[in-house]
Structure 1
Amino acid sequence: MDFEEARPFLEKHHWCVLTTHQRNGAAQSSVIYSGAYQGNAAFVMVYGKSAKIRNLRRDPRCTVLNVTRDWSSWVSVEGEAQLFDYNNTESEQMRQLFRELFRACGDHEHPDWEEYDRAMVTQQAVAALVRPDRVYGLLRKW
């Protein structure tokens, strides 16, 4: 399977398990929301100091596993995460990226974009785009 085959599924099903690598090599998995954005798996970590972000800054390899709510179909994207935040990206570009990823990971608008923008700054949020090196899954009728 390639990313383009998986993209419609990722655009519709945002429930996800993100797996990163801890310093000792063990996997760390977390439940998040993700989606597809410009040929990448994408997600936003609201708390930029989370263990997931620390893991990705040290080792960008990760797996993004999106599932249907009944877990009957799934797509896994393995690749390296490129991280964006207000420390490495211009402020207006970051604001737009957070908004675009919010939409990509949830299919709806935020009720108060200004509040969302402030929260992303305050919480030192991080946006991640995962370049798909390997894509596989089980796409039953969804």
Structure 2
Amino acid sequence: MADIEDFGRLVAGDHGLVTVSALRDDGSISATVVNAGVLPHPATGDAVVGMVVRGGTKKLAYWRERPYANVVIRAGWVWAAVEGRVDLLGPDDPRDGFDAERLRLLLREIFTAAGGTHDDFATYDRVMREERRTAVFVHPDRVYGNPQR
């Protein structure tokens, strides 16, 4: 059995690269590779898996309709999966108490939690704004894997 901390320990193993899945309208699964990390949810403080997703993508549309995801991370033969409800926060998914400045900082927090570094955060911020990037949080309703291999 694994927990969210096991997932978080694997982030450094491969640059926070994860496979994340969402359910399409027809019930089939859409999967993609993104960077993700573990951080406190900005509203609740609970540990969640966070990722930054470009605005206008199909996966964001799927999560708006069916807010549930599966995220798998691996480093060598060790892996962990988090399944749970999805929470979106971005220019197309606003929330009270989170203005553009708070979103800008939140996207940085997620980026660094996923192991990212940047020499020019002003450029990073501009690109995130232009691409209408959204913060995606997956709540760990179910966590499993083989963290002790």
Same structural fold, with TM-score higher than 0.5 when normalized by the shorter chain: yes
The answer (yes or no) to whether the contact 1:11–1:36 under 8 Å persists in 2 is no
For residue 103 of structure 1, the aligned residue among 74, 96, 112 is: 112
Matches within 5 A, 1:18-57: 18-38=20-40, 39-45=47-53, 47-57=54-64
Query: Aligned partners of 2:36, 2:126: CA distance in 1, in Å?
Result: 21
Query: Aligned partners of 2:86, 2:66: CA distance in 1, in Å?
Result: 9
RMSD: 1.6
Is 1:94 paired with 2:133? no
1:139 positional shift: 1.7
The answer (yes or no) to whether the contact 2:13–2:74 under 8 Å persists in 1 is no
1:32 positional shift: 1.0
Matches within 5 A, 1:1-142: 1-10=2-11, 12-13=13-14, 14-38=16-40, 39-45=47-53, 47-68=54-75, 70=76, 72-87=77-92, 88=94, 89-106=98-115, 108-140=116-148
* Sequence identity (%): 28
Query: Aligned partners of 2:3, 2:109: CA distance in 1, in Å?
Result: 23
The unaligned stretches of length 5 or more in structure 1 are none
What is the match of residue 44 of structure 2? none
Q: Secondary structure at the match of 1:99?
A: helix
Range with bigger deviation, 86-95 or 118-127: 86-95
Compared with structure 1, are the counterparts of its residues 5 and 105 closer, same or farther at alpha carbon in structure 2 (3 Å cutoff)?
closer
Tell me the TM-score normalised to structure 2 length. 0.85
Query: Aligned partners of 1:81, 1:12: CA distance in 2, in Å?
Result: 24
The answer (yes or no) to whether the contact 2:73–2:80 under 8 Å persists in 1 is yes
1:67 positional shift: 1.1
The unaligned stretches of length 5 or more in structure 2 are 41-46
Aligned residues between the structures: 137
